[in-house]
Structure 1
Amino acid sequence: MSLVIEKDAPWALVTGATGGLGLQFCELLAARGYRLVITARDTARLAEMRELIPQAQLALAGDLTDPVCLKNLLNHLKRENIEPEVLINNAGFGLYGETLEQNSAENINLVDLNVRALTTLTLALAPSMRAKRKGYILNVASIAAFMPCPYLSVYGASKAYVLSFSEALHEELKTEGVHVTALCPGPVKTNFWNRAGVSECDRFEFAITDARSVAERGLSALFKNKALATYGILNKLLTVSSQLAPKGLTRLIAKEVLRLAVKK
């Protein structure tokens, strides 16, 4: 049976599309009938994904920490008259270690990707969604958004921004046909820890969830217009307890867990 892709099918834009959660989002959205615009830094992997997922009709390689690249992405969509019905802000990374010993430039790049790029794309694409009274924006945050994260300080702070921004926008747009959801997973089987500078993270094994299940949970919450999505009982308990416990205790526990959780 040949695959038929509707010419008038709606578009979905997925950032950080070439692995982990991004790949799962692409497969799941393709199965829902969306045509895909996929972005990532790895040109070769983007080409492979276009072979793997025929619905990935537009692949744009580039580093979204670069304002020029971000502007070019939006200009390309405008030239092609593509107004995504779905935006998945998945691109992001973290850095592990003592904050003052980390590379400052890399932490600025982290903020540029996790915060600025996500905000830019959301603010650029949401108006047309509101005008059509139909649109879906999923911002990938983290359970780190609910607490200070010593040794992941800039990452945790960036995800706290994503959570707050997403929840506020959800409230503003929930009756106007635009769904905004913050996905806050715990540890997921992705390349996150390697990118963060940690070669092993065996003490998180008990809590790690597979990317497919997390992506499914995120999209389910998005299409149901939920403000927040977490996956797994343990992660839900962590998010609730972090808000109820005294701040000093939350910081101390997070510090010890993160300090002891990895092998350097």
Structure 2
Amino acid sequence: MTQALITGGTAGMGLSFARFLAAEGCDLVLVARSRQRLEATANRIADEFGVDVRTIVADLTTDDGCAEVGAAVTDVDVLVNNAGMGLGEGFTGASLDREEKLLDLNVRAVLRLTRTALPAMMERGQGSIVNVSSVAGFGPIMPGSTYNASKAWVTNFSESIAPLARRKNVRVMAFCPGFVRTEFHASANIPTSDIPSWMWLDSDAVVETAMRDLRRGKVVSVPSLHYKVITALIRHTPHSILSRIAERASAISARGHIH
């Protein structure tokens, strides 16, 4: 029986990945910090889809949490590094501790779990790793935020190791959605009222796209046509122009016109 481990598996895209894979008959290992919510989610999925669902309560911003989850990833066929965080404050407003936690979760945990899972998958000659990144990682489009820098690392990291993994029939893919209707922005205290409705994506739909692209062998997956266009523009716009746009957006934001 195929087994998948999903970090941040109780809500948002993590839950969508869990339900998608369970519907295909895949046993699950779900990782989150809240024991009560984790166990309730596991029970619902097990009852609905008839699969085995194990849980690991762990904080992936800590060494102990990464070590505990790392002990489980050597046996899985699919690893989804979904857990991540953003900050509702700019770089000079957030505390150093919070900035370091962002890097611990968005970067270091992805590195550690992938480093543990990938050799085992390569030895078996099969497996898949999905690293959830973001359209924000393609350029400095979030003025004053280090979130986009952390996601740029996730995308580049995935692109760097994908050719190595492919030699042993293992797939590694960076999944880069835009705005998705989840709890992410509310948890980070990030205002969303000024974001137009056309920019929002459905969590289940983007996960379907991610899994389809993974099976097609894509290394970078960007769901929806309009985000593909936006990503292409960001990637091919000179950095000097992107920087001026970001500076202007930052100035407008400071006057309270956008968030």
TM-score (norm 1): 0.89
Matched residue type, 1:107? E
After superposition, the Cα gap between the structure-2 partners of 1:119 and 1:262, relative to the gap in structure 1 and judged at 3 Å, is farther
Distance 2:130 2:218 in 1: 10
* Unaligned residue ranges in structure 1 (runs of 5+): 1-8
Q: 1:220 aligns to what?
A: 212
Q: 1:157 aligns to what?
A: 149
User: Cα offset for 1:175?
Assistant: 3.0
User: Cα offset for 1:201?
Assistant: 3.1
User: Cα offset for 1:198?
Assistant: 2.2
After superposition, the Cα gap between the structure-2 partners of 1:254 and 1:187, relative to the gap in structure 1 and judged at 3 Å, is farther
Q: 1:5 aligns to what?
A: none
Q: Report whether the alignment pairs 1:250 with 2:246.
A: no
Deviation readout 1:13-34 (Å, 9 max, x if unpaired): 0000010000000000111121
Distance 1:194 1:263 in 2: 17
User: How large is the Cα RMSD of the aligned pairs?
Assistant: 1.9
Note if contact 2:143-2:249 (Cα within 8 Å) is conserved in structure 1. no
Q: 1:145 aligns to what?
A: 137
Q: Report whether the alignment pairs 1:97 with 2:89.
A: yes
Match 1:64 to one of 46, 60, 76: 60
After superposition, the Cα gap between the structure-2 partners of 1:233 and 1:100, relative to the gap in structure 1 and judged at 3 Å, is same
After superposition, the Cα gap between the structure-2 partners of 1:33 and 1:201, relative to the gap in structure 1 and judged at 3 Å, is same
User: Cα offset for 1:154?
Assistant: 1.3
Distance 1:114 1:262 in 2: 29
Match 1:109 to one of 78, 101, 106: 101
Distance 1:21 1:93 in 2: 13
* Unaligned residue ranges in structure 2 (runs of 5+): none
Match 1:34 to one of 23, 26, 29: 26
Q: What does 1:1-264 correspond to in 2, within 5 Å?
A: 9-54=1-46, 55-75=51-71, 77=72, 83-151=75-143, 153-256=145-248, 260=253
After superposition, the Cα gap between the structure-2 partners of 1:190 and 1:257, relative to the gap in structure 1 and judged at 3 Å, is farther
Matched residue type, 2:235? Q
Distance 1:262 1:120 in 2: 40
Query: Which range moved further: 52-61 or 14-23?
Result: 52-61
User: Cα offset for 1:206?
Assistant: 2.2
Matched residue type, 1:211? S
Distance 1:105 1:74 in 2: 24
User: Cα offset for 1:174?
Assistant: 1.7
Distance 2:182 2:217 in 1: 26
Deviation readout 1:82-116 (Å, 9 max, x if unpaired): 60000000000111333101122111101000000
Deviation readout 1:116-160 (Å, 9 max, x if unpaired): 001100010111110111000000000011001344521110000
Query: Which range moved further: 167-176 or 213-222?
Result: 167-176
After superposition, the Cα gap between the structure-2 partners of 1:255 and 1:61, relative to the gap in structure 1 and judged at 3 Å, is farther
Q: What secondary structure sits across from 2:92 in the alignment?
A: helix
Distance 2:85 2:196 in 1: 18
Distance 1:112 1:262 in 2: 32
Matched residue type, 2:62? D
Deviation readout 1:189-240 (Å, 9 max, x if unpaired): 0112112222443324220101011111111111222101011111111111
Matched residue type, 1:26? A
Number of equivalenced pairs: 252
Deviation readout 1:35-93 (Å, 9 max, x if unpaired): 00000111111111122111352111121001111112223x28xxx600000000001
